[in-house]
Structure 1
């Protein structure tokens, strides 16, 4: 039996670059990985651009039609790193062709699509995993360990923000993330999905939400060209922004905890501030992605004269998850490593025939909360997610 699996990646820009790096690095740094990825083909509609991406990122070949990619006999895993409007079609077709599926977040643009995607992977008995990569920050894993072991006691509060500022310029163009037909929603789906997933992982299921959304700049120049990452050049025409610029909501958890969530792309000076604080009866933790190798920890068992938050540098391979693969203690890792960690767990899951968390079921539950927040913002009432 072969210990390799052919990979086909749909999407070659921001996320395609990050995923490609993960496939290149995983076996080199995690030699115990159960399956080694073979980077068979990357797919995109622009032949010139995808050909260049294949050469740059280390793919053997390229395709310009994802339908051909998912039908290839030499590929066993399809990676969906495209805008949300194509997640369902590609993932369902991949599953129907017997391929395992690794899909970018949020799982879909609608709750109905998410249900169809979950059904497809379950019916075809393939692995389905969603790339909520912040689960695999070692500091977040430490927070989970402290909660699961009971060291924080009963959890009372979750408060989280995900703050960016990259579209504050009213002349920034109408990229796909600002169009509902492509993105599904704005900051709510793009950023809110991340902190919802972290809340579910760390605190538990959400039973009820009430929220609001706001669009500050309602018309923008149309898109002339993308310029890499989140950059873009504006055209001469104007178009309508059809998603939210900011969203805020309150939540109740099944275990009795309460939570606050805030996401925006209009927080001046915040490039990528994904931050949460959890308060329990015996302690608290606080995390900020912009200092991703650190976790602030407060525990009840400290002597009174030195009690308070301590900053833990989460880089010790003997104590912290994933770190034994990388560098000596104190040598920090970066954002890109979370993708390698996710791909490591994915490949091990495929070998074992088990979908690693976050599964498509997790993706659907996140989608149900996003849907509930949107319904609440429209009705101005508390709403229950439709799991």
Structure 2
């Protein structure tokens, strides 16, 4: 569905898409930036309108509305589901709310963009996927927010793999390393509460590593053997009304999620059929701030990527003469590279936030073309099954566990 209203921009008139976003924290800020910037740099066939931002705390959501440029603030997400001015619901809230909001929005004919991981449980993700598939028949679109797919270096790596430049991929190494929990006296947050977050490092950042490997290779993880560890089991509770940078109270809360996850995997299909993989996700890797590291080794070549150098891709051509072989640094800033023609002159780097603009541009493009965007809720469901299999394996002493339903 689309507004009957139109927006005049650069001398042309476009239909509008009213957007409501649920959540106003870290991801709310990133998504707000994406919604604002995408139509300025990409030639979209509809103009997103930042209509309403939703959050439970009236004062804080009003502050976010003013800061991020939304027209209205609301404390009840159900109000935007019933609002005919809203065409898209963007879900940036904690995982325990995803299923209820997404299913209601889809049933009301709203397009849905939902942050990853799709849900807190496989059962919730299954219900969300079923709702998305029903809605798709009526032209209602849905997508999971695995934003790193839209990093130009990742998109370019996928092109190289698709061209057969790596040959048969045999080994995969994927790590997501952060250190923001390394201080054991850091305060308790919702991300450390299983009832809100579903899991810890495994789902929060490990989901990105899983999705990227599958996206790059066109393969799926079919089985895993995992280990989970919680290093700090209690953390100070924040005083009421005090943010993460504020003073913690003497009371302590129980950490109910993993702090670090390790697992091995087998892949099938695509370019990594019969490959093996090693995955790590941790928020205790002292000195690593946001190091999402992917390395793929194939019969004809290899690729390596690190998000802390996000405009670069390392490529090894094993078919070159022996005296010329070695990893080559490719600066992914040319207009020939995915997305880059929309930004700055050759050699000028882009940043983390640009992936969200690319995500919004692709999502709006799919809506206006009448096509289903990727990654789909079904893709998100598969990642959820992998996460659940890792947890099941760890609980059984790293027993080999299939990811199939």
Q: Shared topology, TM-score over 0.5?
A: yes
Large movers: runs of 4+ above 3 Å: 225-228, 230-233
Cα distance between partner residues in 2 of 1:46 and 1:157:
47
Q: How far does the alpha carbon of each residue in 1:249-281 deviate from its partner, in whole angstroms, 9 at most, with x for none?
A: 000001101100001111110011100100010
Looking at structure 1, the residues matched to 246 and 347 of structure 2 have their Cα atoms a distance apart, in angstroms, of: 37
The residue number in structure 2 matching 1:322 is 339
Q: 2:283 aligns with which of 260, 265, 270?
A: 265
Which of 18, 39, 61 aligns to 2:72? It is 61
C-alpha deviation, 1:147, in angstroms: 0.7
The question of whether the paired residues in 2 share the 8 Å contact of 1:172 and 1:232 is answered with no
* 2:372 counterpart of 1:339: no
In structure 1, the partner of 2:177 is: 163
Alignment partner of 1:199 out of 192, 213, 237 = 213
5+ unaligned residues in a row in structure 2: which ranges? 7-14
In structure 2, how many angstroms separate the alpha carbons of the residues matched to 1:21 and 1:339? 8
Displacement after TM superposition at 1:307 (Å): 1.3
Measure how far apart 1:183 and its partner are.
0.2
Partner of 2:226: 211
Give CA deviations for 1:308-343 in whole Å, capped at 9, x if unaligned. 0011000001x2000000001100000000000000
Listed as ranges, the gaps of 5+ residues in structure 1 are none
Q: Is the 1:172–1:233 contact (alpha carbons within 8 Å) kept by the matching residues of 2? A: no
Indicate if the aligned counterparts of 2:148 and 2:212 stay in contact, CA closer than 8 A: yes
Deviates more, 1:142-151 or 1:294-303: 294-303
CA contact (8 A) 2:226 2:393 kept: yes
Aligned to 2:20: 8
Q: How many Å separate the matches in 1 of 2:234 and 2:24?
A: 28
Q: 1:348 to 1:11 in 2, by over 3 A?
A: same
**Bigger CA drift: 330-339 or 42-51?**
42-51
C-alpha distance in 1 between matches for 2:156 and 2:319: 18
Corresponding residue for 2:307?
289
Structure 1 residue 221 corresponds to structure 2 residue 236: yes
Find the aligned partners of 2:291 and 2:239 in 1 and give their Cα distance: 28
**Offset, 1:70:** 1.5
- Distance (Å, rounded) in 2 between the aligned partners of 1:205 and 1:34: 34
C-alpha separation between the residues in 2 aligned to 1:312 and 1:243? Answer: 38
Partner of residue 38 from structure 2, selected from 7, 11, 26 = 26
Residue by residue, what CA displacement relative to the aligned partner does 1:46-77 show, whole Å, maximum 9, x if unpaired? 11111111111111111110010121100000
Structure 2: distance between partners of 1:10 and 1:273? 28
Deviation at 1:225, TM superposition (A): 6.0
**Native 8 Å contact 2:222 2:404 kept in 1:** no
2:369 alignment counterpart: 352
Structure 2 residue aligned with 1:108:
119
| Corresponding residue to 2:55 among 16, 25, 44 | 44
- Give the drift of 1:35: 2.0
Residue in structure 1 matched with residue 331 of structure 2 by the alignment: 313
Secondary structure of residue in 1 paired with 2:48: strand
Q: Structure 1's 190 and 231: CA in aligned 2 closer, same or farther, altered over 3 A?
A: farther
Look up the match of 2:11: none
What is the CA–CA distance in structure 2 between the aligned matches of 1:148 and 1:363, rounded to whole Å?
22
Q: Secondary structure at the match of 2:32?
A: helix
Corresponding residue of 2:250: 236
Change (3 A) 1:232 1:370: farther
Residues in 2 aligned to 1:99 and 1:291: alpha-carbon distance in whole angstroms: 37
Mapped pair 1:304 → 2:327: no
RMSD: 1.3
Give the structure-1-normalised TM-score. Answer: 0.97
Q: What is the aligned partner in structure 1 of residue 9 from structure 2?
A: none
TM-score by length of 2: 0.92
Asked if the contact 1:178–1:242 (Cα under 8 Å) also holds between the matched residues in 2, the reply is: yes
3-state SS in 1 of match to 2:70:
coil
| Shift in alpha-carbon separation, 1:11–1:5, aligned structure 2, 3 A | same
Verify the 8 A CA contact 2:98 2:114 in the aligned structure 1: yes
- Number of matched residues? 384
Does the residue aligned with 1:72 lie in a helix, a strand or coil? coil
Aligned equivalents of 1:250, 1:225: Cα separation in 2: 41
